[in-house]
Amino acid sequence: MKKLFGNFGGGALWGGGTSNPMVGKVIQIQNKAVRVVKQIGEGGFSCIFEVVDVATGDVYALKHLRLGAEQDLLKEVQQEGLVMAKLKNHPNILRLHAMAFAGSPGKETDGFMLLDFCPKTLLDMMQASNFDLDSFFIYEVFSEVCQAVQHMHSQSPPLAHRDLKAENVLKNCAGRWVLCDFGSTTHRAQVYETPAEIAMEEDNVRRATTPAYRAPEMWDLMTRQRIDTKVDIWALGVLLYVLVYGKLPFDGESKLSILFGKYTLPPGKPPVLVGLIKDLLVTDPEQRPNIHQVVARLQGVRDALASDALATPSPPRPSLNAAPTRATPPSTTFPHPSQVSPALQPPPLQPSSHAAAAGASAQGGGPGVASLIGDLADEPRSSQDGGLLISTSPPRGGGPPAAWQPLGSQHSSGAQVAPAAAAAAANAMNVRRSGSGTLATTSQPQMVRQPYPSVPLTPQQQQQQQ
């Protein structure tokens, strides 16, 4: 099963987590000196290491990218850094702390990205459960990934991740699920008309996307459909299918099945999750919901799952007058977003304070894109760790935007982040987050047993009692 999802194991390239020549070295990344502990993962032209800050003992992940002095690769890595700088401080986005390059200017051979250390991956936890996940765990993972995607799609212009998949979902030390790997992210959104445009985009799609998660419009650009953030909605549908069923809906090479949306839905899964899968895996991108509609539906998904968990039907009581009847369960079918009346549609997304802060950061008010561009292009370089030429100056700019607060938490002023209605609904359902991060119930509803109705005694029974 791991081969099906790809190789994200530890240390396979050098035959083990401690045999990489980088292990044991101290590397200076801007204002942080870190010691490489072991290799924990690898990609196409990169390796991931666990590192420790020499001064503080804090643990980070170090992404080492082998550039080989190729300018195209250098630009891609720089672009990934710019995207992560723009998205920083969202709780469900992997955080970039520092970035530097080795080699002379214009001929950089290596790139280094210092990231939050994430001790667990979604794929590892799926394997540990034998790919049979609890419904509340599925909700937790999927909802937090959707929050990250919503943050990306809310940028101006919107950013499409274009490589959403189980391998790119990690769990950080704070217990949050975070989205990683932004090398495929783009703000391009267009219909590709000319043969030259189509050929160039087909090459981008082949290099930067995963076939099993690739949207139909990306398989056949000759259909002249718009390629935009809706490709992420399709990938979210594939991810949700993987979480629910423990397998991919489409074979990675099954182009026709993807183009025609042919997949199976084995029975026995929560209808509310199955219905959401159906609405996300729509072949026509114009008929797919946008990410704001998806997030708006997630509250209903949680309510339905909590209602099912709290439902404890008692066995039918014997009746003297009629056969026992069984209540009909409530319907959990959700209408497609295009069928919802305008009055029920979620309101248009308003620019939030964190989005505004990110925009201000990009304009120079914080360590945003403009500041990072300066860091990458203008900062002095010095020789560190055996001749590696990397940037050692701290990033310029002001402080980061205000940190995001978890749903239902308190700001420093004491203001409640979650709407009062949502908090009241959660209290009414007696739902909380357990220590493992999954939803659980705080109490079971009390069952009140009613006495059987009294029945008049027959004359014979009355005579016997006398």
> Considering only CA atoms, which of 32, 74, 27, 61 is closest in space to residue 377?
74
Q: Cα(17)–Cα(41) distance, rounded to whole angstroms?
A: 9
CB-CB contact of 333 with 377 (8 Å): no
Q: Do residues 423 and 408 lie in contact, with contact meaning Cβ atoms separated by under 8 Å?
A: yes
Q: Terminus-to-terminus CA distance in the chain, angstroms?
A: 77
Which of these, 50, 81, 51, 55, lies nearest to 67 by C-alpha position? 81
163 is catalytic: yes
233 near 280, Cβ under 8 Å? yes
Q: Which residues sit in the known binding site? A: 63
Burial class (CB within 10 angstroms; exposed 0-12, middle 13-18, buried 19+) of 195: exposed
Amino acid at residue number 277 = I
> In degrees rounded to 5, what are phi and psi of residue 427?
-65, -40
Q: What angle (nearest 5°) sits at the alpha carbon of residue 170, between those of residues 108 and 127? A: 120
Catalytic residue among 110, 116, 163, 228: 163
In which region does residue 182 sit, left (phi positive, over 0), alpha (psi from -120 to 50) or beta (all else)? alpha
Annotated binding-site residues for ATP read: 63
| 231: enclosing H helix or E strand | helix 230-245
Name residue 416's beta-bridge partners: 410
Q: What is d(CA 371, CA 355) in angstroms, rounded to the nearest whole number?
A: 17
Strand partners, 115: 61, 96
Q: From the CA atom positions of the chain, what is the Rg in Å?
A: 27
Q: Which residue has the tokens 């219905």?
A: 275
For residues 239 and 145, is the Cβ–Cβ distance under 8 A? yes
d(CA 103, CA 390): 7
* Catalytic (active-site) positions: 163
